[in-house]
Amino acid sequence: MRRDPASEVPDFDGLWDRIAADVVSNHRAEATLWNGRIDYLPADREQSVRGQATADGRLLLSRPLVVEPLRRLYAEGPRALSDPKFAQVCWRGIKTAAHEFGHLTAPADWTLADRIRDLDREEQDPAEEGFIEALTQVEMPGLVDRVLPAELAGPLARGVAAGPEPLLPSYPGWTSAVGMFSAELAAEFEELRAIDVLRAGARESASRRPEALARLIIDQTRLPELVQDPRRKAALRTDLGRALADGFASLGDLPTARTAGRQRGQEIAAGAIEKVRTGEQFFAQMADFGGLVFDRGIAPVAGPTQGASGNDQTKPGGRPADRLPRGKDEPGGRG
């Protein structure tokens, strides 16, 4: 897909096409729902919002916060970047476009109708915004090198580094939670990289994200070889996916709280890890007993909920081992 010449926002020598293509590539996405249009945000929102991906596949950008700084950058060249504050404004403008294009990545068979249905799920906002922003933050240095002319890319990076303060991500609480979640999984599973977790969460649509993350986690364990029944495999993914969805939905109250976000991201990862490790142990024991297939009421979907004594397995503080924190009133939540 290429920029529609009828777009309100100028082309800047193919900048938007390059950003769109780079986002699809870096997300490892199959397709984009971008319809080629890039227009301006309404005047009553252009000072408070930098960008938006619309339900009909357009990109809307703020004229004063995104487009005009980039127009000046292309007009004046590297000398404009001698001002670190202006360099940071340009960096944010490019990041805004990349972030919004990220909202439009999709599976090959996805349609705008599918996207509109997903946009109605407010509980998905923390994961949607968090994964896309976290991945965009990581990819920005390379993206800038690839989408800008060499005479602008280097000076822009140096100007940003010389800025008076580091650039913070959008939705810092959600982004911190996702970053910690990804780092914890990478630390637990030797062959899993944090960037792989970010990509899996960023490229998927809201309704498919939880199970995609569940599949990624389960594939790092022995569960695929221990569990042969296709229905039980599907149940494992669904169960873990539901727990992940609930965990990220519980972040809705802290879009800007970075410290609390990191803590909650760590808790979501810990809950997921405990689920699959408990499942591994349970199904390995089944294999040791000759691969007996127990009744569903006895053999839990994702590992045992009771020990040999019949007591619930709990973590310190009394929380069931296979649950994720759902809100600030539960142990480990925000105080």
Rounded-to-integer distance, Cα 213 and Cα 199, Å: 10
Mean pLDDT of the chain: 86
Closest alpha carbon to 22 in 137, 131, 142: 142
Distances (CA, A) of 330 to 9, 114, 157: 47, 34, 43
pLDDT (tens digit per residue) in 111-123: 888 877 877 667 8
Query: Is the pLDDT higher at 273 or at 318?
Result: 273
pLDDT (tens digit per residue) in 58-92: 999 999 999 999 999 999 999 999 999 999 999 99
Other Cβ atoms less than 10 A from the Cβ of 117: the count is: 14
- pTM for the whole thing? 0.84
DSSP result, 63-131: IIIIIHHHHHHHHHGGGGGGSHHHHHHHHHHHHHHHHHHHHTEE-TT--HHHHHHHHT-GGGHHHHHHH
Task: Please provide the size of the chain in residues.
Answer: 335
> Is 50 exceeded by the pLDDT of residue 325?
no
pLDDT (tens digit per residue) in 149-201: 999 999 999 999 998 888 889 999 999 999 999 999 999 999 999 999 999 99
pLDDT (tens digit per residue) in 208-220: 999 999 999 999 9
Domain assignments of the chain as residue spans, ordered by start:
15-161, 172-288
